[in-house]
A and B are shown apart, each in its own frame.
Chain A
C-alpha cells in the first residue's frame, strides 16, 4: 500500500499534471459560472481534448472540471439571482438577499469556504469509502452485479424526472441503444444494419455530447436576449470566526452531501435543498432563512460540493455511475481503456491513489481559482452568447470527430442532439437514458454469465445475501417512488 502511494505521488506530481488540475478547475469554474453552461456539458466537451493524454493527466483535468463547476454555480446565484447550475438553486434563497443587503462579498466568501471544506471532507470519505466498498465488491459475482445494476437503473429512473414512468421509459430507450453492436457473450451483431462502424456499438462520445451539449445548444438557440448587462462584483471576504461559527452547518451539509451523493439518482440538487432545510430546522433563528442567512448559503454550498466525493464512491468501487456526471466520467474511463471497479483497485491501485490525490489538490486549488473567478465574473457573464455558443458547436463536432475520425459519429451526435432536445421539451429526463446506455452491457453480461453458470436457473439471482439485498432495495424503491408519485399527483389534482 505504501509503495502504491509513493508510486501514485510519482505518477501525479509533474508540472503537466498540476497544470491539468489547475486548467480543469478553471474551466469548470467558467462552465458553472455562465448560466446555461453546466459541468456535465463541460466534462463532455473536454473529454475529446484528453484523447492524447496519459490517463492520470486526463482525469486530473476532468475531475478538476467537475469540482470547479460544482462550486461556481453559486457565483451567479449569489450575485445575479440566477443559479449557474441546477445544484446552486438552493444557494439563491439566501445568497441573493445577502447581495441585496450589500453583503454579497460575505456570501461569496462563505460559499467559497463552505465548498472547499465540503469538498475536502467528501474526498476523504471517498478515499475510505471506495477502498472499503471495493474490498467488499471483490465478493460480488455476476448475480450480485446484475441485481446492483437493476437497483441502480430503477432508482435513477425513479428520481430523475417528474414521473417514474418517464424516467423508466428514458432508461429503457438508453438500454436499447446499449444493445447496438456485438452482443457481449456470443458476438452476435445487433442493429448494425450491415455497417462495419456499428459493430462496436453507438459511440459513447457521440451520444453524450449529443445529449448533453448539442441539445443544450438547441435550447439556448431559443433564448433571444442576453441575461445580464452589468454586474457589480463585491470582494469575496469572510473572517475565520464566521466560518468557525457556521462549522456545524458546514459539517452537517457535508455529511448530507456525501450520503445523498452516493445514492444513485440523487446528486447535488436534492442534497443542497435537504441540507438547507435541515439547517433551517436546526437553527435558532429559522425566520432569517430566505431573507439573507449565511447559514443557508453554508448549508447549500457544503452539501452541493460534498456530493462529488459521494457520487464517486459507487463509480470508483463498483463501476456503477449514480448520476449523469459520473456516467460521463465512466465513459471517460472506458475511452482511456480503464474499467472502474474492484479490478481497477486490484490492478491499478497507484492510479486510483493518484486520482484521489488529484481530487484533494483540486479542492485545495479551488480557493485561489474561485477568488479569481469571482473577481472576473462581471467579464465572464459579458461574453456574448453569439461568440460562446458557435464555438461550443464547433467544439462538439471536432471533439466527436477526433475520437474515431468517423463522420458517421457526427451524424449520430446530431441525432442524439435532436433526441435530447425533444426529450427535454417533453419533460423526459436525460440522465436515466445515459445511465441505461452505460449500464446495459454490464447488466446484460452479468445476467447472461449468471444464467450460464447456473445452467439457466433464475433462482441464482436470489442465491446470495448481497443479491437478495439489492433485489429487496429495488422492490422497496419502486414501492416508495410509486407511492410518492401518486401522492404528488393527488396534491396537484386537489
Chain B
C-alpha cells in the first residue's frame, strides 16, 4: 500500500515536472534555431515526453494494481520513513552551511565547525574527540588539496 501511494505521488510529481518543462521552461529557456535538420528543442522535448509518459504509466499501474501483501523489503524500498529523514536533512543543511561559510569566510572558518556538527549528527558524543578530529581533519585536507595537489581552497 505504501509503495502504491509513493508511486502515485511520484507519478504526479513527474507529470507536473514534465508539464512545466514542456510548456514553460523549453519555450522560454531553449533557443529554437531552424538551421540544420533538427531543432535544439527536439531532444529536451523528447526527454520531457518520456518523463511525462513514464509518470502517467506509474500512476496508471499503481491505481490499477491490486493491493497484495508485498514482500517486506519492497515495502521498505518504496516507503518513505519520515521519522528518520530529519537527520539526513540536518546533514544536508550542515553541508549547505559549509558552502555559505566557505564562500563568505574561507576554508579555515568553514571546515572545523561543520566537521564538528557532522560528527555529532553521525553519533559522536565526546567533545574532546570532536574538537581534535575537526582540527586534524581540517589541517589534513588542507595539506592534501592545497599543498599536495595544488588545488587552491579559496
Mark out the residues of chain B between 60 and 103 whose CB falls within 8 Å of any chain A CB in the assembled complex: 61, 65-66, 68, 70-71, 74, 77-78, 80-81, 84-85, 87-88, 90-92, 94-96, 98-99, 102-103
- Assembled-state Cα–Cα distance A444/B46 (Å): 11
Q: In the complex, which residue of chain B has the Cβ closest to the Cβ of A417?
A: B92
Given known A176-B21, A176-B47, contact A414–B99 (CB-CB < 8 A): yes
Q: In the complex, which residue of chain B has the Cβ closest to the Cβ of A423?
A: B10
Q: Which residues of B contact A214 (CB under 8 A)?
A: 95
Contact of A51 with B by CB under 8 A: yes
Contact of A421 with B by CB under 8 A: yes
Partner of A398, one of B37, B46, B68, B153: B153
Q: Are the CB atoms of A175 and B43 closer together than 8 Å? A: yes
Q: In the complex, which residue of chain B has the Cβ closest to the Cβ of A389?
A: B122
Given known A390-B115, A402-B149, contact A219–B50 (CB-CB < 8 A): no
Q: Are the CB atoms of B99 and A386 closer together than 8 Å? A: no
Mark out the residues of chain B between 101 and 125 whose CB falls within 8 Å of any chain A CB in the assembled complex: 102-103, 111, 114-115, 118-124
- Assembled-state Cα–Cα distance A52/B152 (Å): 12
Give chain B nearest CB distance to A494 CB in angstroms: 8
Q: In the complex, which residue of chain B has the Cβ closest to the Cβ of A225?
A: B123
- Assembled-state Cα–Cα distance A447/B37 (Å): 10
Q: Which residues of A contact B118 (CB under 8 A)?
A: 389-390, 393
Tell me what chain B mostly uses at the interface: helix, strand, loop, or mixed.
Answer: helix
> Which of the four size classes fits the interface of chain B?
35 or more
Give chain B nearest CB distance to A484 CB in angstroms: 15
Contact of A1 with B by CB under 8 A: no
The A/B interface has a contact count, at CB < 8 Å, of: 190
Q: Are the CB atoms of A394 and B111 closer together than 8 Å? A: yes
Q: Are the CB atoms of A421 and B88 closer together than 8 Å? A: yes
Contact with A along B32-55 (1 / 0, CB 8 A): 110111101001101110110011
Q: Are the CB atoms of B54 and A186 closer together than 8 Å? A: no
Residue in B30, B78, B141 with the greatest tally of chain A CB atoms within 10 Å: B30
Residue in B32, B66, B91, B150 with the greatest tally of chain A CB atoms within 10 Å: B91
Q: Which residues of B contact A492 (CB under 8 A)?
A: 68, 70-71
Contact of A14 with B by CB under 8 A: no
Q: In the complex, which residue of chain B has the Cβ closest to the Cβ of A407?
A: B103
Q: In the complex, which residue of chain A has the Cβ closest to the Cβ of B130?
A: A386
Contact of A487 with B by CB under 8 A: no
Q: Which residues of B contact A51 (CB under 8 A)?
A: 149, 151
Q: Are the CB atoms of B152 and A175 closer together than 8 Å? A: no
- Assembled-state Cα–Cα distance A49/B120 (Å): 27
Q: Are the CB atoms of B88 and A185 closer together than 8 Å? A: no
Given known A386-B119, A456-B37, contact A176–B92 (CB-CB < 8 A): no
Contact of B144 with A by CB under 8 A: yes
Contact of A401 with B by CB under 8 A: yes
Q: In the complex, which residue of chain B has the Cβ closest to the Cβ of A409?
A: B99
Give chain B nearest CB distance to A123 CB in angstroms: 29
Q: Which residues of A contact B7 (CB under 8 A)?
A: 426
Partner of B102, one of A220, A407, A452, A489: A407
Contact of B25 with A by CB under 8 A: yes
- Assembled-state Cα–Cα distance A451/B37 (Å): 6
Contact of B29 with A by CB under 8 A: yes
User: Could you give 29 example pairs across A and B, Cβ below 8 Å?
Assistant: A48-B151, A51-B149, A165-B54, A169-B58, A175-B50, A179-B47, A190-B29, A190-B44, A192-B29, A214-B95, A218-B91, A221-B122, A226-B123, A387-B124, A387-B133, A394-B114, A394-B137, A397-B99, A398-B151, A401-B153, A402-B151, A405-B152, A410-B99, A414-B95, A417-B92, A418-B92, A427-B78, A440-B43, A456-B37
The interface of chain B, by Cβ under 8 A from chain A, is: 3, 6-7, 10, 14, 21, 25, 29-33, 35-38, 40, 43-44, 46-48, 50-51, 54-55, 57-58, 61, 65-66, 68, 70-71, 74, 77-78, 80-81, 84-85, 87-88, 90-92, 94-96, 98-99, 102-103, 111, 114-115, 118-124, 133, 137, 141, 144-145, 149-153
